[in-house]
């Protein structure tokens, strides 16, 4: 789900070795090397303030101002290049387990010198779809000009990222608890008759009070037919109040769509029922398209809400799942299941956070009772 991106990421992002010890990152890197389809000499992993899921997965580092690169050899210690000049290096050190940090300036020359010190083989790249033209040309141009093959292997890592470890699942549970606190505060604000802005702020403040790293919201002023970001103060109450809340804790996201209404909303009843009917399909081995088809049948003759471009989306270090409908769901994957309806009876969206297990699932959070 795309929301307005903060100009500056300010939330806490220090590496917590108790929550994610060094061994967790070593295991992730080792799993990537086992899954590789060639004998790469090393991999360059890119991250930016907007998109850094892959970088954070391997290094715990969240770039807050500028781009960053991790240089990870098949053997030996990795290096992290951070933007903002050498003055940013002390501030970057607490954010990662990597000990060797340097500035990003002259990245092409730095990467090329590093590649030449490695054993022969291609230099793979990850996360370069968001790197920007200039930095991309600087790095790939230097490697290509020196005769290195530069395959993009982001898809290999993303497959591993879909399967959550026990530690990752524990962090997502904490994010879901913060999401629930935000929604509860919004319900209370709605019951108290507070305006749309106060309702949204009540939810955000409740999540931050629980220790959230980042909170992003959208809301509706037209009965749930469209969603908008918070830009100007809206003093009047909204009824029904359709809201979207995403909460991040230690890098891991939880999200939810909730409709708060003073009276019964037929569109919401239909969305809730469709979600309950599709929930049994949330298990390893199901294709995403099967869930999409089940929801389409449950909502007919109404259409899926236009905001919901993916009904079953993987979630974790990123809110922007790039899976396709034919993807087979995996044991260990965490999904955001969203269902929305837009028809003559109105519009509404509801959702749930679900952890997939072999042969079943566990509901981590839901907007409404699912039984």
Average pLDDT of the residues in 159-181:
96
Residue 340, C-beta contacts closer than 8 angstroms, at least 6 positions apart? 257, 271, 304, 305, 307, 308, 347, 348, 349, 350
Say whether both 86 and 229 belong to one domain: no
Task: Note the pLDDT of residue 222.
Answer: 93
Task: Note the pLDDT of residue 173.
Answer: 97
Separation CA 202–CA 288 (nearest Å): 34
Residue 293: Cβ-neighbour burial (10 angstroms; 0-12, 13-18, 19+): middle
Say whether both 362 and 257 belong to one domain: yes
Reported confidence tier of residue 186, pLDDT bands at 50, 70, 90: very high
Task: Note the pLDDT of residue 3.
Answer: 63
CATH classification at residue 228: 3.90.230.10
Say whether both 209 and 253 belong to one domain: yes
Do the domain assignments include residue 136? yes
Computed over every residue of the chain, the mean pLDDT equals 92
Contact 335, 356 (CB under 8 A): yes
Task: Note the pLDDT of residue 292.
Answer: 92
Q: Per-residue pLDDT for 371 more than 80?
A: no
Say whether both 182 and 326 belong to one domain: yes
CA pseudo-torsion sign 114, 119, 122, 127: negative
Say whether both 87 and 114 belong to one domain: yes
Contact 335, 282 (CB under 8 A): yes
Say whether both 136 and 187 belong to one domain: no
Q: Which of 162, 194, 225 is the last residue of a domain?
A: 162
Do the domain assignments include residue 3? no
Say whether both 174 and 151 belong to one domain: no
pLDDT per residue as tens digits for the range 323-363? 766 688 999 999 999 999 998 889 999 999 999 988 889 99
Task: Note the pLDDT of residue 5.
Answer: 58
Task: Note the pLDDT of residue 226.
Answer: 94
CATH classification at residue 89: 3.40.350.10
Q: Which of 162, 187, 209 is the last residue of a domain?
A: 162
Reported confidence tier of residue 255, pLDDT bands at 50, 70, 90: very high
Separation CA 142–CA 344 (nearest Å): 58
Say whether both 202 and 339 belong to one domain: yes
Say whether both 247 and 302 belong to one domain: yes
User: Residues of the chain with pLDDT > 70: what percent?
Assistant: 95
Separation CA 71–CA 151 (nearest Å): 15
Our count of domains for the chain comes to 2
Do the domain assignments include residue 15? no
Contact 327, 288 (CB under 8 A): yes
Q: Per-residue pLDDT for 7 more than 60?
A: no
pLDDT per residue as tens digits for the range 84-130? 877 889 999 999 999 999 999 999 999 999 999 998 899 999 999 88
Q: Number of C-alpha atoms within 13 angstroms, CB side, residue 71?
A: 25
Neighbours of 209 (CB within 10 A): 12
Task: Note the pLDDT of residue 8.
Answer: 58
Q: Give the largest CA-CA distance in the chain.
A: 68
Do the domain assignments include residue 7? no
Do the domain assignments include residue 58? yes
Q: What are phi and psi of 44, to 5 degrees?
A: -105, 120
Do the domain assignments include residue 13? no
pLDDT per residue as tens digits for the range 268-302? 999 999 999 999 999 999 999 999 999 999 999 99
The boundaries of the domain holding residue 354 are: 166-366
Residue 66, C-beta contacts closer than 8 angstroms, at least 6 positions apart? 48, 49, 82, 83, 84, 104
Task: Note the pLDDT of residue 144.
Answer: 94
Say whether both 210 and 351 belong to one domain: yes
Q: What are phi and psi of 71, to 5 degrees?
A: -105, 110
Q: Which of 162, 192, 208 is the last residue of a domain?
A: 162
pLDDT per residue as tens digits for the range 16-63? 999 999 999 999 999 999 998 788 999 999 999 989 999 999 999 999
């Amino acid at each position: 789900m795309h929301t307005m991106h903060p100009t500056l990421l300010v939330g806490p992002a220090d590496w917590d070795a108790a929550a994610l010890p060094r061994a967790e990152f070593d295991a992730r890197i080792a799993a990537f090397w086992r899954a590789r389809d060639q004998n790469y000499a090393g991999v360059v992993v890119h991250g930016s303030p907007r998109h850094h899921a892959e970088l954070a997965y391997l290094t715990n580092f969240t770039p807050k101002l500028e781009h960053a690169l991790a240089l990870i050899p098949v053997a030996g210690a990795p290096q992290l290049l951070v933007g903002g000049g050498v003055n940013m290096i002390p501030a970057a050190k607490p954010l990662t387990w990597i000990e060797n940090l340097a500035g990003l300036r002259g990245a092409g020359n730095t990467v090329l010198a590093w590649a030449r010190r490695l054993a022969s083989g291609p230099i793979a790249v990850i996360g370069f779809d968001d790197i920007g033209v200039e930095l991309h040309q600087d790095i790939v141009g230097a490697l290509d000009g020196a005769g290195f093959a530069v395959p993009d292997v982001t898809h290999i890592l993303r497959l591993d990222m879909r399967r959550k470890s026990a530690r990752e699942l524990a962090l997502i549970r904490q994010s879901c608890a913060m999401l629930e606190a935000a929604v509860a505060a919004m319900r209370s604000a709605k019951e108290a008759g507070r305006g749309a802005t106060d309702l949204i702020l009540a939810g955000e403040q409740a999540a931050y009070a629980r220790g959230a790293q980042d909170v992003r919201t959208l809301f509706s002023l037209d009965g749930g037919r469209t969603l908008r970001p918070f830009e100007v103060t809206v003093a009047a109450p909204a009824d029904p109040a359709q809201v979207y809340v995403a909460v991040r804790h230690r890098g891991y996201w939880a999200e939810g769509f909730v409709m708060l209404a003073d009276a019964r909303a037929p569109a919401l009843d239909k969305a809730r029922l469709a979600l309950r009917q599709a929930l049994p399909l949330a298990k390893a081995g199901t294709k995403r398209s099967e869930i999409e088809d089940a929801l389409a049948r449950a909502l007919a003759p109404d259409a899926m809400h236009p905001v919901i471009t993916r009904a079953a989306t993987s979630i974790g270090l990123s809110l922007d799942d790039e899976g396709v409908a034919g993807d087979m769901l995996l044991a260990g994957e965490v999904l955001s299941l969203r269902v929305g309806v837009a028809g003559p009876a109105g519009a509404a969206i509801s959702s749930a956070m679900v952890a997939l297990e072999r042969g079943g699932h566990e509901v981590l959070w839901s907007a409404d009772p699912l039984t």
